[in-house]
Structure 1
Amino acid sequence: MSKLTTTPASSQAHSTPAEQGLTAGVLFLLAALAALGALATNIILPAFPAMGEDLGVSVRELSATLTSFFLAFALGQLFVGPLSDRFGRQRLVLAGLAIFVVGSLVCAVASTLPQLIGGRVIQALGVCATSVLSRAIARDLFDGHELARALSLTMIAMAAAPGFSPLLGGAFNSWLGWRATFVFVGVLAVLLAIYYIARLGETHRADKRSALSVRATLKIYRQLLIDRRFIAPTLSVSLVIGALYAFFAMAPAILMTGFHFSPFELGLFFASTVFVVFGAGFLAPRFARRWGQVQVARAGIIIALAASVALLTAKEDVFFFSASLTVFLLGMGLVNPLGTAIALQPFGRHAGAASALLGFFQMGFSAVAISIAAALPVPVYTSLGIILTFNLALSFLIFLAIR
């Protein structure tokens, strides 16, 4: 079976946006596009008790707002990627932001859990476009180490959003009520659309676009799925991301119920994790230049796996929990951007489809990890340790296939 056509660095001649290089403005835009979905998810976590009381459901039942979001997010990306390869990135980004605003308004006025879940699904179908296309736009503009650097800095923002957003969500919940959080993220989407039009615009040149048909799209996806250059790093990184979102989903129960954290203390805990991700994200491209992307990404998996095993085997203690998660996030911060760059690097012509399939696996694995962790008949602390250890061990085995 023939492989997909690859795009060498020498062929990446772009128009004005690319010629500007990795400027602060371009980086901010890529980071904001990538982080909006994570922000919209984690900003509501501290408000779960208030939301449950308002809607007459338990906090456990509210986990459906997370799994439904991730599933819709995963499926939506499969359509967005190929559409952007055919029609360009700008139309899909702006349409996605508009849909996200509609979903946010539905959530803000929801009076029942099914209505809230419906709004979350609409949100996900919109924001999946910004997430998948942030990677595709980076691939349009950059190549090689510059691509790895752009993705590293973008992934920092994507991981920082879940860290800072609970603190922000707790403040909104205390001052204005949980519905204000959905209004807030909707307004952010509008501002982001305005900035995108003014700052970047279209990055996928007309002569680089591919034909659109169901048969052609399925052929591209099939070729990606059997291409080891893509599928090995994609599955490996997706397992790591699944473990990360399982941590975000289970941490409130562990910290607020088990360790008696207040919503504000929970927000501070999440915010403190951002500094670890910042550090790892800045180090990843520097280490990659010296030792290579594959070697550094593999080291990141080993670090995260060691932390997962420690979390699983040690006693339930808030200090040890914090230390183990710090080490896990350090490893995750290394493997995520480098593994993503390895997966997307050979597929410049089909960057949208490749990024979409990568995002599908990431969000799909996240939904599965959260569902299994919630269903395991063991304490939440142990359940999280099991999911993290299993995902990281499997991620390491798959990554061995990468040369």
Structure 2
Amino acid sequence: MSATEGGPHKGRFDVGFTLLLPLLLAAQPVATDSYLPALPAIAGELGSASTSLTLFVLAFGFAQLLCGPLADRFGRRPVLLAGLGCYAIAAFGGAFAGSVAVLAGWRTLQGFSMAAILVCARAAVRDLYPAHEGPHVMARGLTGLGVVGLMAPLLGAWLVQGAGWRWVMVAMALYAAVLFALCWRSFGETRRPMTGESSAPRGSTRAVFASRAFRAWASVAATTYGGLFCFLLLSPMVYIGYLGWSPAWYGWIPAGGSLVYIFSTTMCRSLLRRFGPMRTVRLGAVLSITGAVIQALGCWLMPHSAVPLLAGHAVYCLGHGIHQPCGQAGAVGDLPHLAGRAVSWSGFGMMMVAFCVGQFAALFVDTRFSYGAWPMVVPMLVAGVVLLAIAFLWLPRLAQPVSPTSPSSLKKDSTP
């Protein structure tokens, strides 16, 4: 059943998509979080697997720019099914890899496939729901992602210890195969047909960036993720290398962050119903900067204590769980006819901001930990300041009337 048959909120399809969305979004933590516990075992058998992880992330970032236009041109269903099929094949191929180079190749294909899955899932939200309901739906889906993000590393570690790292890849393949079967049966085409056109209108990318709402909300999503990515990238070195925690104890830190994220995305839905997206994002920005300030004060006053770092991280995660549903849904709110392209550029921006900021921050980490935890904390502090500026200065301007001569008022780039 397609979205055009009986409306987006009627019949079996809506219930099916409500259940499918968190499973589709969770393809990311399944491919990354469950893989992390396998890295030492892979290194022991094949050699360092860091290249496979880097290529996976880069493929995921750049592939979104291709998958968005493909989803707008050919529809969400064929691109999604192709992505799920390739995801399963790549994971299964990786399970039989005999060298690091072969494993890296399969992981690159898996990153490309994951981009297709996430782009189509997020675009389908805009296809099926009006703009004001998008943040609610995304918050519900991201809550499910948080649950999987909590379970994936634990299950990955259990498989590595009990059966070996190759079974982690097999489990990824089985997950994708089950999702493929569910989507083949339940996921109908959601893209709205274009009158007199077989593809997206010319100048579509320009139309996406001409949208003031896209620029603002995509910046929210990219900024908050950039800050969190620096924590994910550098926290092992801070807690294990600098503070001397054991790897087993450190593992509870990202797990605790996932718990806070689950609570925050659930809270986000209540806040949206009560206050609307503008005030909700402002509250999220206050939480983000508060968490970063707590960490900064800890670095300054208690440089060898983990307490302020943990407390600040929890508060920042509260803000992150508010910003992600609002930012991801808001970026496509004004662009229902270009949802695939808008989602792809928003996702690409998130990955590129995170990658660039993370690589720059990593330059200040040395073997003596001369700067303590500051390389991890400063990017989160900057992200909090930027989020405050967006929430209190940029987003309110979206409600102001646009000059007839401004680029975002020209519709010729966004009409067929």
2:139/2:269 contact within 8 Å kept: yes
- What amino acid is aligned across from residue 392 of structure 1 in structure 2? G
Instruction: Spell out the pairing of 1:38-77 with structure 2 (5 A cutoff).
Output: 38-57=29-48, 62-77=49-64
Deviation at 1:99, TM superposition (A): 1.5
1:402 aligns with 2:395: yes
What is the match of residue 171 of structure 1?
158
Give the alignment of 1:18-33 within 5 angstroms. 18-20=9-11, 25-33=16-24
Conserved 8 A contact 1:166-1:270:
no
Q: Which amino acid aligns with 1:174?
A: Q
Determine if the alignment matches structure 1 residue 184 to structure 2 residue 184: no
Provide the alpha-carbon RMSD of the alignment: 2.6
**Does 2:334 match 1:346?**
yes
AA in 2 matched with 1:388: M
Measured in 1, the distance between the counterparts of 2:58 and 2:197 equals: 27
CA contact (8 A) 2:36 2:153 kept: yes
Alpha-carbon distance in structure 2 between the residues aligned to 1:387 and 1:302: 16
Q: By how many angstroms is 1:371 displaced?
A: 2.2
Change (3 A) 1:118 1:370: farther
1:297 corresponds in structure 2 to 281
| 2:292 corresponds to | 308
Distance 1:242 1:103 in 2: 28
Give 2:362's aligned amino acid: A
Query: Higher mean Cα deviation, 282-291 or 353-362?
Result: 282-291
SS at match of 2:274: helix
Alignment of 1:346-365 (within 5 A): 346-365=334-353
SS at match of 2:373: helix
Alignment-derived partner of residue 5 in structure 1 = none
Q: Give 1 or 2: higher helix fraction.
A: 1
Match of 2:222 in 1: 238
1:3 corresponding residue in structure 2: none
Task: Go from structure 1 to structure 2 and tell me whether the alpha carbon gap of 1:165 and 1:210 turns closer, same or farther (over 3 Å shift).
Answer: farther
2:105 is matched with which residue? 118
1:4-403 map, 5 Å: 15=6, 18-20=9-11, 25-57=16-48, 62-207=49-194, 211-212=198-199, 216=202, 219-258=203-242, 264-314=248-298, 315-377=303-365, 379=369, 381-399=373-391, 400-403=393-396
In structure 1, distance between residues paired with 2:195 and 2:151? 38
Q: Which amino acid aligns with 1:122?
A: L
Partner SS, residue 206 of structure 1? coil
| Deviates further, 246-255 or 27-36 | 246-255
Superposition TM-score, scaled by structure 2 size? 0.84
**Is the 2:292–2:312 contact (alpha carbons within 8 Å) kept by the matching residues of 1?**
yes
1:52 corresponds to which letter in structure 2?
A
SS of equivalent to 2:157: helix
- Structure 1 residue 16, shift from structure 2 partner: 5.8
In structure 1, list runs of 5 or more residues that go unmatched: 1-11
What is the alpha-carbon distance in structure 2 between the residues aligned to residue 123 and residue 236 of structure 1?
A: 27
Cα gap change, 1:31/1:193 in structure 2, threshold over 3 Å: closer, same or farther?
Answer: same
Shift of 1:87: 1.3
Tell whether the 8 Å contact from 1:86 to 1:210 is kept in structure 2 after alignment: no
Native 8 Å contact 1:233 1:343 kept in 2: yes
Q: State the Cα deviation string for residues 331-362 of structure 1 (Å, max 9, x = none).
A: 10011101222221111111111111111111
The 8 Å contact of residues 294 and 311 in structure 2, kept in 1 or not, is answered as no
**Deviation larger for 330-339 or 193-202:** 193-202
Structure 1 Cα separation of the partners of residues 15 and 263 of structure 2: 18
Question: Normalised by the size of structure 1, how large is the TM-score?
Answer: 0.87
Distance in 2 separating the partners of 1:124 and 1:326: 29
Q: Partner letter of residue 56 of structure 1?
A: G
Larger radius of gyration: 2
Query: Which amino acid in structure 1 is aligned with residue 155 of structure 2?
Result: L
Question: Is the alpha carbon distance of 1:47 and 1:265 closer, same or farther for their aligned partners in structure 2, counting shifts above 3 Å?
Answer: farther
Where structure 2 has 5 or more consecutive residues not aligned to the other structure, the ranges are 397-416
Aligned residues: 385
Partner deviation per Cα, 1:21-49 (whole Å, 9 max, x = no partner): 99654222011111202221111222322
- Residue 224 of structure 1 aligns with an amino acid whose one-letter code is V
